[in-house]
Structure 1
């Protein structure tokens, strides 16, 4: 695990660091609480914080509070507070401030290892619960709710930078289900979704055979170029099933975020662009900035 370790004593920091390294953890050691807090804010991979109650410049409990705030947006962080003070009040205050666990200094290595094994189980379980809440079980793409949450955040925090939304729909998908069955239909959905697995941006399944692709820092022309690249791949990649090989195509709608535009209007523009693409023959790209879709050469 990635462990942020905060201990004002150089000797204590070294002892704890060696214990963690023997477990195979990646350790980020700090004596100063402010420096540790700055590192935490810019490092999303931290799984566990072990902080002394007594730290330099800020109280260790501030790290607890910050971890709780950050965990709401980026996933679970397990917080363990340690103190040389044996008073029960310190334990109660730490837990009330958001700590998950507490131990007294100096640490007993076997006890620390047991607490960290428990922390690892909790973090792993919390991450799995979060993944299940955010993703579509068939494709692994973001589900509708989480996709639009991410989209809303990108719009609100974008600061005026370019942002484009691509909506796409598998053409004649009902015919695929009717002819080959729903198992093959699921295979088609997964194959199309798989084309986005390693691409930039935020990708989600927002309906049965409908997907959405959010592209930060892309204007309309750049988004069209990226959408066209995927459209060609989908068109040229046959689906192989027990019932034979066949091809599928997809229609796309592209819309760019304009001044004063919010989530609802951007979504509507992309959806209208997708509708225009389907109305114009499918397997093409419709533009939110135009009434008629622009057909691009295959």
Structure 2
């Protein structure tokens, strides 16, 4: 596991790291608690935070509380506090501040490894629960809620002056596929389309036969090229469903991020462009031009 250690003493940090690293753990040590918190926030691979209560500039209890807030934002993180003065008050304060466990400083090897085995069990379970909560069960990609949340997070990183684009796509005549060949074939069609959506971006199933893609730091021109490539890939698919293979096509709508935009606005404009693609012949890529958005919104 990736473990972050925080203590004011470099001797203590070296001693604990020497106990952990031979067992395959990756250890990152800090004497500054604010720097440690920033590192944990930016490094998703961190699974365990071990901190003394006697740290600064953030106190140990404040560090525990801040780390717990990070863990509540859908990431597994186990927090262990250390203190050379083990008493009921310290233990209660640490647990009330978000710590999962409490050990004396310096810890014995046996106790430390036992605590980390518990941490590994819990964070593994948390990771699986998060995966189940965020994943569409049919396709294995993000569900609508997780897609929108990750898109909002990406928008914050991009900022007002950054680049980002969105693609919405919808399987053409999907109801006819379900009606003529059954829902099993419809599910197979959805899964086949999903397998083609292996792009560097945020990909999710928004519901039914509709998918969304958000491409951070990419302009509309690249999104249009991506959508065109995906359209051709879907067009070449063949699905088993009867005496002859079933052909599929998809329609695509593309939109681009602009200053002061929101994810909801970005997705809405792509949806308007997708509607235009569906109503003007299907199996097309349409970009959300300003006049098109105004016409559909009016």
Q: What TM-score, normalized by structure 1, do the two folds share?
A: 0.89
Matches within 5 A, 1:206-217: 206-217=206-217
Matches within 5 A, 1:1-298: 1-73=1-73, 75-160=75-160, 161-197=162-198, 199-240=199-240, 245-289=245-289
Inter-CA distance 77–277: structure 2 relative to 1 (3 Å threshold)? same
Inter-CA distance 210–36: structure 2 relative to 1 (3 Å threshold)? same
Provide structure 2 residue ranges, at least 5 long, that are not aligned to the other structure.
293-298
The CA deviation at 1:43 is 1.5
CA distance, structure 2, for counterparts of residue 229 and residue 111 of structure 1: 56
**How many corresponding residue pairs?**
292
Inter-CA distance 289–9: structure 2 relative to 1 (3 Å threshold)? same
The CA deviation at 1:45 is 1.2
Q: Tell whether the 8 Å contact from 1:44 to 1:74 is kept in structure 2 after alignment.
A: no
CA distance, structure 2, for counterparts of residue 148 and residue 11 of structure 1: 45
The CA deviation at 1:285 is 0.6
Q: Tell whether the 8 Å contact from 1:200 to 1:215 is kept in structure 2 after alignment.
A: yes
Inter-CA distance 266–10: structure 2 relative to 1 (3 Å threshold)? closer
CA distance, structure 1, for counterparts of residue 265 and residue 55 of structure 2: 49
SS at match of 1:255: strand
The CA deviation at 1:241 is 6.3
Q: Which residue of 2 aligns with 1:296?
A: none
CA distance, structure 2, for counterparts of residue 3 and residue 170 of structure 1: 45
Provide structure 1 residue ranges, at least 5 long, that are not aligned to the other structure.
293-298
The CA deviation at 1:195 is 1.8
CA distance, structure 1, for counterparts of residue 154 and residue 96 of structure 2: 33
Q: Tell whether the 8 Å contact from 2:3 to 2:25 is kept in structure 1 after alignment.
A: yes
Q: What TM-score, normalized by structure 2, do the two folds share?
A: 0.89
CA distance, structure 1, for counterparts of residue 18 and residue 241 of structure 2: 54
Inter-CA distance 11–162: structure 2 relative to 1 (3 Å threshold)? closer
Moved more, 16-25 or 185-194: 16-25
The CA deviation at 1:156 is 4.8
Moved more, 29-38 or 209-218: 29-38
Q: Which residue of 2 aligns with 1:295?
A: none
Moved more, 254-263 or 224-233: 254-263
CA distance, structure 1, for counterparts of residue 8 and residue 154 of structure 2: 38
SS at match of 1:265: helix
Q: Tell whether the 8 Å contact from 1:180 to 1:243 is kept in structure 2 after alignment.
A: no
CA distance, structure 2, for counterparts of residue 254 and residue 19 of structure 1: 53
The CA deviation at 1:50 is 0.9
CA distance, structure 2, for counterparts of residue 50 and residue 241 of structure 1: 56
The CA deviation at 1:57 is 4.1
CA distance, structure 2, for counterparts of residue 111 and residue 17 of structure 1: 14
Q: Tell whether the 8 Å contact from 1:170 to 1:210 is kept in structure 2 after alignment.
A: yes
RMSD, aligned CA: 2.3
The CA deviation at 1:240 is 4.8
Inter-CA distance 258–56: structure 2 relative to 1 (3 Å threshold)? closer
CA distance, structure 1, for counterparts of residue 123 and residue 262 of structure 2: 35
The CA deviation at 1:137 is 0.9
Q: Tell whether the 8 Å contact from 1:165 to 1:212 is kept in structure 2 after alignment.
A: yes
